[in-house]
Amino acid sequence: MLTNLFQKMINDYNSMSFTHNYIFGFCYKHIVYMATVDSATLPYICKLDVASRGAGYALRYCPTVQQKLFLMTKAVPLCSEMLFDSLCQEKYKNAHDKMVKYNCGEVFEKLVTEHFGQKWVKDNVPFTDGPDVVGNGVPYQVKYEKATFTNEKTLMNLTTK
C-alpha cells in the first residue's frame, strides 16, 4: 500500500512540477557535492515519511550512503563541509536589509546559484510555478539533504483546484 502511495505521490508531483530537472546536494567524506539529475531519479533517492502538522505522508530527499554513491556519478564538488557548515551558521542581509539566518537548503541553493554566476535572492516560488535556479539555460529545482518535496495535503489541495 505505501509503495503505491509513494509512486502516486511521485507521479502527482511530476505532473504538476514546473521542471523535471534537479540539483541534489549532499555531503560525502567532508565535501559538499551537487548532482544534476532528472525526475527519473526520484524513486531511487526519495522516501516516504510522515509529514508534519497532520499533512499525511511526505516525499523527502534523505540520501543514504548508497544513494550518495549513486549520485556521485553525476556530481561535482561544490565546497568543503567545513565551509558549508560555517555558511549555514552565518547571518545574511536580506532584501529588506534585515539580518537573517538561512537554513542549509537555502544556503545550498545560494551556492548553486553562485556556481552558475548569478546573484541569489531568497524567494518562495512554488514548485508548480517556476524553478529555483536556471543554469546554462536549464531550469532546476534544488534540494539539499533532509528536504521535503511535498506532502499529501499539498498534492490534494493542488489537484482539487
- Model confidence, pTM: 0.91
CB-based contacts of 159: which residues, under 8 Å, 6+ apart? 12, 16
> For 103-123, b where at least 16 C-beta lie within 10 A, e where not — what string?
ebbbbbbbbbbeeeeeebeee
Integer Cα distance of 12 and 103 in angstroms: 27
3-state secondary structure of 22: strand
Geometric angle at alpha carbon 13, from 23 and 18, rounded to 5°: 60
Q: What is the pLDDT of residues 21-59, one digit of tens each?
A: 999 999 999 999 999 999 999 999 999 999 988 889 999
Q: What is the pLDDT of residues 78-87, one digit of tens each?
A: 999 999 999 9
Q: What is the pLDDT of residues 129-154, one digit of tens each?
A: 999 999 999 999 999 999 999 999 99
